[in-house]
A and B are shown apart, each in its own frame.
Chain A
Amino acid sequence: MRYDVIVVGGGHAGIEAAQAAAKLGAAVALLIPNPDKIGLMPCNPAIGGPGKSQLVFELQALGGVMGQLADQTAIHARTLNASKGPAVQSLRVQNERDGYATAARQLIENTTGIDIIRAEVASLLVKDGQLNGVILSDGRELHGSSVVLCTGTFLSGVVWYGKQKRPAGRQGEAPARFLSGSLRSSGHKLLRFKTGTPPRIRADSVNFSQLEEVPSDDPPGSFSGRLGRKMSSSPTWLTHTTVNTHELITANLHESAMYGGEIEGRGPRYCPSIEDKVVRFADKDRHLLFVEPDGLETSEVYLQGFSSSLPPYLQDEMIRTLPGFEQAVIQRYAYAVEYDTIDPTQLDITMMSKRLPGLFSAGQINGTSGYEEAAAQGLIAGVNAARFANSGSLVSIRRDQGYIGVMLDDLVRWGIDEPYRMLTSRNENRLLHRQDNAAERLMPLGHAWGLMGSKDIERLQQSQLRISAEVERLNSTRHEGVLASKLLCRPAANYQQVIEKIGAAPLSLTPEEKKKVEILVKYAAYIERSCKELQARQEYEELELRSIDFSAVASLSNEGLEMLQRQRPATLGAAQRLRGVRDSDITALLVYVKTRNVSRETTTKH
């Protein structure tokens, strides 16, 4: 049988890619050695946080499923940065690890058009430079028009416990041994990255009374508006390292694979191991650690902040220096994993390879880190894989449209030299790309792509009408001579206080809508300024460069020409952000494009 889209891997990228492609009518095969691993959370059992929650809300607006899976299986939720202004407020939920995987597998099984195939992929099936599917490790061929690689850390994966290493994609799972070679032979450059995960502790060995409890928000937020029934049923906890932990680590650094120099891959700066923290921040006598439950019934807790490449016997000793962990038993040890990634500068912003049309990739294979980052790429790759199979034009999200666009642009433009994590500081338009307005920014795109229904759009429009009516009311109603909007703009004032003075809105608003009204009024001046700055950049952002022969453009600097030819930026906006491209190069491009358009118009007139 021939498929339209073959998705390799069933993690967070693979799930979104498969379900999006299937929703668009493609016949999808999802290949995975063990279907029980679909939707696994191999690192911490949480979704969201700064930069990441915005990705999930954007996915939700585009027709992704991560938000609903997270809500369905949430046991704890907090809105971070709630008091720090509107731009970076971010939802983070704790999930039942097993519940999430089960919900994800059920969703995939219940989506029409997806066949789950238990298989390992050995190589890409390329004939005369054309991608025609994949070859499985048992020698079978599976034919398809598009292939989406979502292999996570499995490409030539090596797992390290201390100085001991063994080939593995994850703890206890075999790596993808052959695919790297296949990618290389189709012209792809690969990078080698490293990441790590902290130990899991048996819950019944932890003395929770010694830990500081972090309760869930009341009421808890959600990505999809539909909360699962276990929400807010569990707290999370805090503990910290002690002087004893630090002494133990310092005395045994030579046992670390990282410090011993055995691991060649680059680790992410934002995922420092506990050894890193102790060495680099020697003046700090304690480091905070987050104790996250794996679920309500599971027996494990996750110890965030305690990644380590020290050997297991030392981890046992280290853990017992932590308050509340004096008797603790490690169930699964911390380990580091090294793996191959595709240098993402070889990808187009559509997530399709520039080297091999029809080949898409998403997630850690593209050098990113994090479930949310993977899912967002997965959706874009899945949509485009379906469109490619259907000979349609490919789509993407621009940098000025949202966090997803920022990530894609960062990846394909700059390339990366460490795993890429989304951070709010990467997004220059973060005041406009808030989690609260993701739907109005992106749902129309999701609708145009065919992932969101007309009903969703209608609901969105009605909600927007209610919001704008209320903003209008605040801008025209006075209380004791002062405009309600001015009252709301006062520091520390909130929407609730204002309507206690001027009366409730005539149309009833949801809590989310009230929040939005508050943000739109309170920060109107800032939002307007950001809009203006964005518009000023827009003209360049949108100017197409796709079909340009850069060598035909007069007066480009040598360095600029080389960079442009290598990166082939799609728009002038993207060209402008390339290293080595000068202002004068941009001027030259601008002039070239505009002249060409003028001379074309002149020709058509004849």
Chain B
Amino acid sequence: MTTAPVYAEDVPVLAQERIAQDVYLLTVSAETAGAPGQFYLLRAWDRDPLLSRPLSLYTATDTTVSFLYQVRGRGTALLSRCEPGDRLTLLGPLGHGFRLADLGGRVAIVTGGIGIAPMRALAEQLLPQHVTLIAGFRSTPFALQDFERLGVHALVATEDGCAGTRGLCTDLFDPGRFDSVATCGPAPMMARVAALCAAAHVPCQVSLEARMACGVGACLVCACATLQGNRRVCTDGPVFDAREVVWHA
């Protein structure tokens, strides 16, 4: 399920909400909602920085698209300063999202930090009583209520122990209890989830992150190593079968 991407300037910002330390929820007006796991390139500035910023779809309605993102550098900092009424530039939806047909039975969604962002739209497409969110955070959790509202059961780990279990999300993840898995987060975490799933013969889909330029598969700067050679995170992914990805130590 892919919608042709649209390039639009002057897209109105409808809402900007700071929901945690450095984490924001941005809602814009858009009529081209992507599928879970797809992403958009955003920019709220002219030519500095040069590149747009890839953000995955958090939620969508018929007329809006929302992005949950963390301020990591200058681009995301500029995005976080957008207010309702401001205009930004949007290209998307882009890439291949989650293969819903392969997320059957009891589904585990395993996330680290801002890796929770592509999962809200996914959870919405699954039967909530069959979904367990296993979310890890460095400190104070965020966005959990958006999943609980769907009826999704959430297990939480925090590195500082301020909520849930002290430790990592992977400490709480037992692949034997699930039939399929979707994961997103820091690379070492995803590599660990992929290894646990492989050992338990549980299918796992990973949503990868990469520095991108064109976003449409032309420039080849967002390559990731796979069993079939280097592939493009932006168009061959960002969601890949975990068994295909070659994880670097």
- Are these two chains actual partners, yes or no? no
Residues of A in contact with B (beta carbons under 8 Å apart): none
